[in-house]
Amino acid sequence: MTAAAVAAYPQECCGLILGQRELSCDRSQPEDDDRQVLDIVPVANAWEPSLLDYTDPTGKAQAGHGQRDRYWIDPAVMLAVQKSARQQQLEIIGIYHSHPDHPAVPSACDRTLAWPVYSYVILSVQLGTVADLTSWRLDPQHLFQPEPVKIIGTSANNTPFLS
C-alpha cells in the first residue's frame, strides 16, 4: 500500500484488501468481526469527472474534483478481484486509498461512498512520503469509527500482514 501511495503521489491511489474475517461467538454484527489481511491488490484509480453526478446525489457537487482528491474503483475490476479471491478462499475485506497532502481521516465523499462490510484504510502522503496510516469502519449510523491496525508478520516480499 505504501509503495502504491508514494508512486501515485500527488494523485490518490487505491486498491483492495484481501483476507479473512472471523466472527466470534459473542459478536453478531459484521462490524464486530476480526479481520486478517493476507493480500493487497493495487488497482487503477478510475475516477473521472462524469462520476460527480453519481457520487453526489444531492446535486451540489462542486466542479474541480479529480484524482488528486477522489478515487474510484471500476466495478468490473472489483468483481474480477472478488472472483479471484474466492478461488484462494479469501474475500475483499477492505479498500485502501491515499490522501495526498491531507490527513488520514475519511472525507465526506469517502463516507458517502462507503459500504458497512469493509474496512477503509487511508494513507496520508505528505510531500511524497507516507506520514500516517489509519483504518476505519462504518458503525450502524453510517459514521466512520477508527479501528486498530496491528502488524502480525510479513510475507515473503516483506509486505506486512495486518490484523
Structural domains in the chain (count): 1
Structural domain range at position 128? 2-162
- Residue 32 DSSP code: G
Helix residue ranges per DSSP H, 9-124? 52-55, 75-87, 108-113
CATH number for the domain harbouring residue 32: 3.40.140.10
Q: What is the pLDDT along the chain (163 residues), one digit of tens a residue?
A: 999 999 999 999 999 999 999 876 655 555 568 899 999 999 999 998 777 655 565 556 556 788 999 999 999 999 999 999 999 999 999 999 999 999 999 999 899 889 999 999 999 999 999 999 999 999 999 999 999 988 776 655 555 555 4
| Grid coordinates of 41 | 491488490
Give the start-end residues of each E strand in 51-140: 91-100, 119-126, 129-138
Q: How far apart are CA 11 and CA 70, in angstroms?
A: 8
pLDDT the model gives residue 25: 60
> Which secondary structure element, helix H or strand E, spans residue 146, and what is its range?
strand 144-147
Query: Cell numbers 506486512 correspond to what residue?
Result: 160
